[in-house]
Structure 1
Amino acid sequence: MAAQRIVVTEFGTKAVSDPCHTIFKRVAAFFSPGESLSDNAMISVYPFGDEFYTFTEAPIIHRIDPTTLDTLERVDVSEHVGIVNHTSHPLIMSDGTVYNLGLNISMIGPSYTIIKLILNKNSGTTYDFLVCYSIKTMVLFVLGLSESKRLSSFEQATIVATIPVRWPLHPSYMHTFGITDHYFVVVEQPLTVSVPSMIKNQVTNSPLIESLRWYKDEQTVIYLIRRKDGKIHKTFVAEAFFYLHIINQYEEENNIILDICTYRDPSMLDCMYAESLKNIQKNPDYAKMFRGRPLRFVLPFADPTNNHSVDENSGLLCSTQTIIYHLNNKQIFVKPELLCDLGCETPKLHYEKHMGRSYRYFYAISSDVDAENPGTLIKVDTVNKTWKTWNEKNIFPSEPIFVPAPEPKSEDDGVILSSLVWGKGLENQVGVIILDAITWKELARAEFTTPSAVPKCLHGWFTPKIF
């Protein structure tokens, strides 16, 4: 603000170049993400024990005061686990353990790594990440520790899995990943980050989006990694799709059920520019670019037996229409089924009880920008493949957050919280709505006006502890 210009390059915006930075400094900065990447952690917020951290995809997180929203601490995760980025959606387990997925670039190339942080009373929250990590780097880091030093939670992070990158110079762009009782689930989509382009853009000070590459003729690869030893258990392939958010994943019989909000391609990212938003009405393909649907993939993790033989074109177990094919190259091709014929985004569920476990309902906002009312909240029944919607003209709700009843009698026994913004002349009006999660009817709302327009938020978290 004080500089009256953009001073840090973001995902889609370019900063004004600093003449004091030489080409060599800019290239070197690529390997020091804590210094070169934006620390604008504006995507998500997660609890680590009794602390709250905000996330972006750069490996810099901020501990905040959940009451005042003041920044209490800036943490450069790359100093502890050697990553250049991580997802903005770590996974919080019921015991407080935290996992995340990141990328490490070493002399032998990039790799994905899973890191783990464990809640530790002596040092605060411990943090596990899935990152691209070099074993060499890990050894040097361990040898450099002092036995007498009291380690912070982040310094005690451990690497629990390493996954090779399909294309060494083009690691996949990953916004999230999954976990079940026995497996990590990593979805390697054919939207990649070009390492040569990243280095070039570091010199030219260009935004990350210019380094993204979409390989439409390549398949999406899904890895099942065993939690007990960090090894790849099985690999599946599917048609190319773009995704940001996994809805949930869980084990059922000998299968992993994986639900994802998918798009045919990532062209919707090009619609996020301010200029594109201004010219929506002039772009006949704008709505098509946002056409996404939630899909279910069923991944058999057990080898075929006499009781459950899986031949080419055969159906899977469970009440699902997903089909798998065993290909000649020993790969398993998965054809998903549709969960809901509406575009769903920022999916939420009863996280504390059902994340990584069997579930029935998820809640989302509409991604169908050409719908009669695009500002729609959606409840999806994944068993019956039915859905309910709530909307009101000129209102655009945020990610729906489920809050369970004190003694819930069913999975959806609780309420939905969603912030509201208005359009078309009411940009200064904001609010919060409460829906009955069972009936999907409005229970209450609060509305107020602000001195200036309020942007729509991305992700949030509910905690009863501060009320």
Structure 2
Amino acid sequence: MGNHTAIFSLDSSGAVREAVIHTPRDRPVSYIHSFSSTTKYLVLTTPPAFVNGLKVLYEHSYSQALTWQREKQCLFYVVDRATMTHVATFESTDAFFFFHSVNAFDDGDDIVLDMIHHTDMDIIHRLNVRTILEGSALTAPSRLARFRLRAVTSHPLEPPKASPSFPKVELPQLWNTPSSVVELPTINERYRHNSQYRFVYAVGTNSPHAAFFEGVVKMNLDTGEEVWWLAGDGQFVGEPIFVPHPQAVHEDDGVLLSVVLDGIANQSHLVVLNARDLSVVAKVASPVVVPLGFHGMHTAK
């Protein structure tokens, strides 16, 4: 992060707007994979997974250049979307790591953030060929977590200094089974920034010895209920993509698309799941093996 970070927007005409986030002078550069947005704000969450610039030059991988410093906590930088100005900074109560934000929304003067929570950055080092083959890549649980940044406009920014103090964010509300691992979350995009949204879908596993993600889970934020679909032995699933029904009435009216890699048959197929109960609607064989990826999208024709 250095002394400041730029966050920018680009509209359909090509016009660029930029906000400058002022970071503590003694805070190194953080590894960041995603950020959050609400109707009014952008939120950049920075875990204490710091990049050592010198190590980037001589280590074998980018991950080896990262250092975890739990005592520095996570910082939440808030940017006003209308003015593109940095308006507030919050600090976590306990440090955590994350890759993916899920959704966020405004609640009065509060901001509510949902993301996939890891207790540390060990997942980065465990996602390698050796640990995947050993079945030990996904041994550290991850949880769907909700954070609340309270009274955003009541915490004006202080001038940058070496050891600033920030308003604390209380410990998050957590979902999904504590022993499970979930990642690559998705929602019905029609409910983006909607405080009434209820459902989050993700890849995951309930097994401590799974080589990789072996199923899809649907999490109900109101009741805490989980529904799982497991692909079967030797089969590994990719990020689920939610496709709403054209005449959808309910949030979960639609299907999920996921590319499944069958490690036993050395084949791939697209599975179509009913988003309401995760029952299989269809499977479509692929003419080629599709490597597991990270992210995708669906565009209606």
Q: TM-score range by the shorter chain?
A: 0.7 to 0.9
Would the alpha carbon gap of residues 249 and 371 (structure 1) be closer, same or farther in structure 2, given more than 3 Å must change? farther
Q: 1:214 aligns with which of 64, 68, 74?
A: 68
The question of 1:254 aligning with 2:90 is answered no
Alpha carbons of structure 1 residues 244 and 368: separation in structure 2 relative to 1, 3 Å: farther
The SS at the match of 1:276 is: helix
User: 2:96 touches 2:119 (CA, 8 Å); kept in 1?
Assistant: yes
Provide the residue aligned with 1:291 in structure 2. Answer: 141
- Percent identity (aligned): 25
Q: Are 2:221 and 1:382 equivalent residues in the alignment?
A: yes
Amino acid at match of 1:356: H
Distance 2:100 2:221 in 1: 16
Cα deviation, 1:8-50, whole Å, max 9, x if unaligned, reads: xxxxxxxxxxxxxxxxxxxxxxxxxxxxxxxxxxxxxxxxxxx
Report the CA distance shift for 1:384/1:371 in structure 2 as closer, same or farther (over 3 A): farther
Aligned to 1:275: 130
- Within the candidate set 169, 172, 178, 2:36 is matched to 178
Aligned to 1:457: 293
1:345 to 1:205, Cα distance in 2 relative to 1, 3 A: closer
- TM normalised by structure 2 equals 0.86
Aligned position for 1:241? 96
Residue 339 (str. 1) matches residue 179 (str. 2): no
Match of 2:186 among 325, 333, 348: 348
Quick check: 1:214–1:266 contact (8 Å CA) kept in 2?
yes
- CA deviation profile, 1:419-450 (whole Å, cap 9, x unmatched): 11112x32x21111111111221111122564
8 Å contact from structure 1 (residues 287, 368) kept in 2 = no
Alpha carbons of structure 1 residues 436 and 230: separation in structure 2 relative to 1, 3 Å: same
Counterpart of 2:17 in structure 1 is 158
Return the index of the structure with the highest Cα Rg: 1
Corresponding residue number in structure 2 for 1:193: 51
Contact 1:171 1:192 in 2 (8 A): yes
User: In angstroms, what is the RMSD of aligned CA positions?
Assistant: 2.5
TM-score by length of structure 1 reads: 0.57
Higher relative CO (Cα under 8 Å, sequence separation at least 6) belongs to 2
2:161 — aligned with what? none
Please give the alpha-carbon distance, in whole angstroms, between the structure 2 residues aligned to 1:454 and 1:332.
44
Counterpart residue type for residue 392 of structure 1: A
What is the total number of aligned residue pairs between the two structures?
286
1:100 matched to which residue of 2?
none
1:421 aligns with 2:276: no
User: Which of 230, 233, 237 does residue 84 from structure 2 map onto?
Assistant: 230
Structure 1 gaps of 5+ residues are 1-102, 104-108, 121-125, 127-155, 305-327
8 Å Cα contact 1:235/1:332 also seen in 2: no
Whole-angstrom distance in 2 between the partners of 1:458 and 1:292: 17
Contact kept in structure 2, 1:291 and 1:367, CA below 8 Å: no
Q: Please give the alpha-carbon distance, in whole angstroms, between the structure 1 residues aligned to 2:232 and 2:166.
A: 51
Runs of 4+ with >4 A deviation: 371-374
Larger proportion of helix: 1
Q: How many angstroms apart in 1 are the aligned matches of 2:193 and 2:132?
A: 36
Cα distance, 1:414 vs structure 2: 0.8
